[in-house]
Amino acid sequence: MGGAWKVAYADFVTAMMAFFLLMWILSMSDKETRQGLAGVFRAEAIFSTNQISAVGVSNNPLIQYAGKVVKEDVKINEAERTNIEMMKKLNQFMLQDSFPSGASGLTSDSVGVLLHLAPDLLFSPGTVEFTAEGKKVMDQIVGVLSMFQAYLVVRGHADTSEAGIGGYTSLWNLSAARANAAIRYLIAHNVDPKFLRSVAYGDTRPAVASDAPNAKQMNSRVEFHFHRPDAMSTVVGY
């Protein structure tokens, strides 16, 4: 067996030293610090390691947790569980249709779930008219709103390269038209208007620098922010 056991023994001793050091740090920490540390580990423990991969989606960093399964023995509050279930529902649809990486993304925060889509996934080129695939996406959003009774902010964005596209006189008008088209579709499909808001940002909130190679793909987008009913505008950030 040679000296292999020495390596294993050294690893064991190192692990034990790290464990006892952690125990000592925790014993010296106050209650608030321990609760903060627990929150960090708890946030990671909410998800299992069953990562889903699919062509065009698996490399998207915005959906790193969306396909994971909630562990039954993890205690989470109702808002967290709702966020996770919404992410699973939306991610299942995205994976099924293999939305291209960069053109779509899904993430979650303490307020709710954010889905962003490139206009090409929703509208015919140069318009705010939904394609057949775009209507399919919107129908999924209608289903999520019906299932979870969440509030929704639709945020319209545009890239600097889109000036004059579709006859819109400004990027503000273009981004507003995109957001409002989504709102109109939702209302036409029996979503209560009191749960909906739309915001236009033009090119004022780019995801990447305007000279980046993928600037148009990333900056020209429509965002759907599903959030808790008790989260007011100052919390949602629109």
Asked whether residue 227 carries a pLDDT value surpassing 60, the answer given is: yes
pLDDT at residue number 51: 29
Q: Which residues contact 135 (CB under 8 A, 6 or more apart)?
A: 185
Asked whether residue 230 carries a pLDDT value surpassing 80, the answer given is: no
pLDDT at residue number 57: 32
pLDDT in tens, 209-223: 888 888 888 889 999
CA 117, CA 123: separation in Å to the nearest integer?
11
Highest mean pLDDT among 15-19, 49-53, 90-94, 158-162: 158-162
**Between residues 32 and 28, the one the model is more confident about:** 28
pLDDT in tens, 132-189: 999 999 999 999 898 887 899 999 999 999 988 888 989 999 999 999 999 999 999 9
- State mean pLDDT over 98-115: 77
Which is nearest to 236 in space by CA: 116, 148, 158, 152? Answer: 152
pLDDT at residue number 165: 87
pLDDT at residue number 148: 85
pLDDT in tens, 36-45: 455 444 434 3
pLDDT at residue number 48: 33
H or E segment and range at residue 114: strand 112-117
Residue 75 phi/psi, 5° resolution?
Answer: -85, 115
Q: Which residues contact 238 (CB under 8 A, 6 or more apart)?
A: 153, 155, 197, 199, 225
Q: Give me the CATH topology for the region 46-236.
A: 60s Ribosomal Protein L30; Chain: A; (3.30.1330)
Look up tokens 């399964």; give the residue: 69
CA 138, CA 36: separation in Å to the nearest integer?
39
